[in-house]
Amino acid sequence: MNPSLSGGASKPAAIHAGTSVFERLKEYLERVASRNEKAYILADENTKRFCLPVVLAVLPGLHSAEVLEIRAGENKKNLETARMIWDFLEEKGAGRHSVLINIGGGVVTDLGGFAASTFMRGIPFLHVPTTLIGMADAAIGGKTGVNLGTVKNQLGTFHNPEAIFIHTGFLKTLDDTHILGGLAEILKMALVADSHLWDRFRLITFPDLLKTDYDDPVWQDLVITSVALKSRIVEQDFRDENIRAILNFGHTLGHAFESLSLQDDRKPLSHGHAVAMGMICESCLSSMKTGLTDNDLQAIVRMILSGFDYYPLSDDDVHFLFTSIGHDKKRSGGDSRFSLLKFPGEAIPGVTCTPEEILDSIRFYRKFER
Ligand SMILES: NC(=O)c1ccc[n+]([C@@H]2O[C@H](COP(=O)([O-])OP(=O)(O)OC[C@H]3O[C@@H](n4cnc5c(N)ncnc54)[C@H](O)[C@@H]3O)[C@@H](O)[C@H]2O)c1
């Protein structure tokens, strides 16, 4: 690693994982301290309880760092919480070269990244992802953001952290729902970019994985493979203008499912679960538009429903999904654009689908109601 304090929004982050990860973080922080700069920590109520003590045990020097604890949850990923972070940095005397360490899942890294990238026009920040989604996906690639009402990630920046420190040991305290959510994003990565990873998913099912100890190398392998795939794609298209869009597979409808569940407290749906449901619909669109075979479509649906509960939709919900797609940033003109699969392992970005085709894909989805 070559830790620097200068960086730049699009400069790729140094990514560290494995046994020496805290040693690398220590080196980075020593560099910060040697310049008389301060480190600040952002965590949510769960990561402050479960993950921060792990970090402090190996890095006692961080005990003196100011910590901001925010409430956990997607509905806190908003401008009000960003304002709290800006106020915290301001009140605690942060300067242009102070460092914000974001310890948490995708909500904390998206929020902390957003707040840091806008505070004083951008201060350095680090991600210490603590969920599987965070490690395999959210912390990688420099997208920061907050929701605007129920519209996901409507405000945000492209700004890389200086470095990312991945410790899969944090997964031990994460519940199965959120582990599954991460597996959905890793499955997506396989479907859009890595047929070998898809073959591995076919050999080891979601229920088997959930029974596998988090010290098992399989977790480190899955995370590292996903990080490498995402980094390779982001490197080609940091600002999401062409090829990076393949990572949106499952997300156009997935975000609509997620917005739907945010509307209704009785039906909580994690981000990964929403993406899994979106991938069922968008695999169906792939079979209509980009040549995904029926066999592959069935295999993908079987794989998803082996791990994720079907999310029931009323007729009103279907109407809501359409309205949400209208807000989606991937829409152009009257039709919506999707990233769809040619086959498991290769995707095509920017495929235009009509409202009727989208409705057909939701009809296909609703056939799996049990
Ligand atoms: N920026 C990107 O490229 C990108 C990519 C994918 C997802 N995301 C975003 O990520 C978010 C979803 O990420 P998430 O599922 O990590 O959400 P999250 O941050 O809300 O974490 C899920 C829950 O797990 C808790 N938690 C976190 N780490 C824990 C641990 N080690 N032990 C126990 N509990 C722990 C959190 O407090 C929270 O309650 C969404 O907002 C999504 O939009 C961003």
Q: What is the pLDDT of residues 157-177, one digit of tens each?
A: 999 999 999 999 999 999 999
Ligand 1 contact via 127 beta carbon (within 6 Å): no
> In this predicted model, what pLDDT tens digit does every residue of 272-298 receive, in sequence order?
999 999 999 999 999 999 999 999 999
Which pLDDT score is estimated for 209?
Answer: 93
How many other C-beta atoms can be found within 10 angstroms of the C-beta atom of residue 149? Answer: 10
Dist. CA 35 → ligand 1 center (Å): 32
113 lines ligand 1 (CB under 6 A): no
Of the candidates 158, 159, 154, 161, the residue with the CA atom closest to the CA atom of residue 79? 154
Half-sphere exposure of 17 (CA within 13 A, CB side): 23
Q: Express as a percent the part of the chain with pLDDT over 90.
A: 84
Tokens 């989805």 belong to residue? 365
Dihedrals phi, psi of 101, to nearest 5 degrees = -105, 115
How far is Cα 299 from Cα 276, in angstroms, rounded to an integer?
Answer: 14
> Cα-atom radius of gyration of the chain, to the nearest Å?
20
pLDDT tens-digit profile of 99-153?
Answer: 999 999 999 999 999 999 999 999 999 999 999 999 999 999 999 999 998 788 9
What pTM value is reported for the model? 0.92
CA distance 197 to 226: 9
Beta strands across the sheet bearing 39-44:
14-17, 163-166, 125-129, 99-104, 39-44, 66-70
- Residue with the two structure tokens 């910590």: 67
- Output the average pLDDT for the chain: 93
Binding site membership of 114 for ligand 1 (Cβ less than 6 Å): no
CA separation (Å) from 150 to 158, 256, 264, 328? 21, 10, 11, 11
Which stretches of 310-350 are DSSP H helices?
315-327
304 beta partners: none
Ligand 1 atom with minimal separation from the 77 CA:
41
Residue predicted with more confidence, 97 or 2: 97
Alpha helices, H only, the chain: 21-34, 45-50, 52-58, 79-91, 106-118, 132-133, 176-193, 195-203, 206-210, 217-236, 251-263, 271-289, 294-307, 315-327, 355-366
Dihedrals φ, ψ of 351, to 5°? -85, 125
Please state, in angstroms and rounded to a whole number, the distance separating the CA atoms of residues 275 and 271: 6
Whether 4 shows a pLDDT value over 70: the answer reads no
Pocket test for ligand 1, best of 271, 275, 308, 329 (most atoms within 8 A of CB): 271
pLDDT for 171: 97
Cβ of 274 closer than 6 Å to ligand 1, yes or no, is no
